Chains A and B, each alone.
Chain A
Amino acid sequence: AQSVAQPEDQVNVAEGNPLTVKCTYSVSGNPYLFWYVQYPNRGLQFLLKYITGDNLVKGSYGFEAEFNKSQTSFHLKKPSALVSDSALYFCAAISTGSARQLTFGSGTQLTVLP
């Protein structure tokens, strides 16, 4: 069975500081990994994905994520946080094997303090 863990319900960071939102996954075989962001009263927005290749993936709005196969992690990062980055972030995973459904983590609320 697939599972995704986001160990932190809440992350607070000061504006201008680097931010990290953590994600670990468990899938059989090789994973496809995604990050989505949800602003209040909105649907989820795609940020970036890892399919294969370079372990460092760059996405929208200056976000990037690092795939670490040995640690089964896919942490989301940004060098300098903005107040407008405050939102709910979801990590998601799917096996490249037979599983067809995307499994989401429980979400991490990021608050960037001015």
Chain B
Amino acid sequence: DSGVTQTPKHLITATGQRVTLRCSPRSGDLSVYWYQQSLDQGLQFLIQYYNGEERAKGNILERFSAQQFPDLHSELNLSSLELGDSALYFCASSVSGESRYEQYFGPGTRLTVT
């Protein structure tokens, strides 16, 4: 168990809908990362937050947004969902925003868009 929790575990929704994925980092970790894992794209970095502030942005669509709250949990919002958004979404946390620290991954949220 990495100490990173993600809810829900599974999510099934229809095209055009909006969903929110939630992540709680390991105790003491200030940095949260979001990734998308799909068969065709592999593991793609979406966005990073450090202590409430956006730190880095990757291949995140404009329909997606995220935030990190004062208690350090984070939410990833996906809107106007398309079939191609079906994927496994991982949250990871690390003690610092610096790149030399390893990241600890949650179990993921499997999103299915029908």
Contact = CB atoms under 8 A, between A and B. Distances in A.
Nearest to A99: B99
Interface of B: 2, 4, 33, 42-43, 45, 48, 55-56, 58, 90, 92, 97, 99-100, 102-108
B55 A44 contact: no
B23 to A, nearest CB: 11
Contacts of B42: 104-107
B108 A43 contact: yes
B4 A43 contact: yes
Contact of A43 (B55, B100, B106): B106
A102 B45 contact: yes
A6 B56 CA distance: 25
Q: In the complex, which of the residues A34, A42, A102 has the most CB atoms of chain B within 10 Å of its own CB atom?
A: A102
Contacts of B56: 100-101
B2 A43 contact: yes
Contacts of B104: 46
Interface residues of A, number: 24
A80 interface: no
27 contacts: A36-B105, A42-B107, A42-B108, A43-B2, A43-B4, A43-B90, A43-B92, A43-B107, A43-B108, A44-B43, A44-B92, A44-B103, A44-B105, A46-B104, A49-B102, A94-B99, A95-B99, A100-B48, A100-B97, A100-B99, A101-B45, A101-B56, A102-B33, A102-B45, A103-B45, A105-B42, A107-B43
Nearest to A51: B100
A104 B43 contact: yes
Contact of A46 (B43, B58, B103, B108): B103
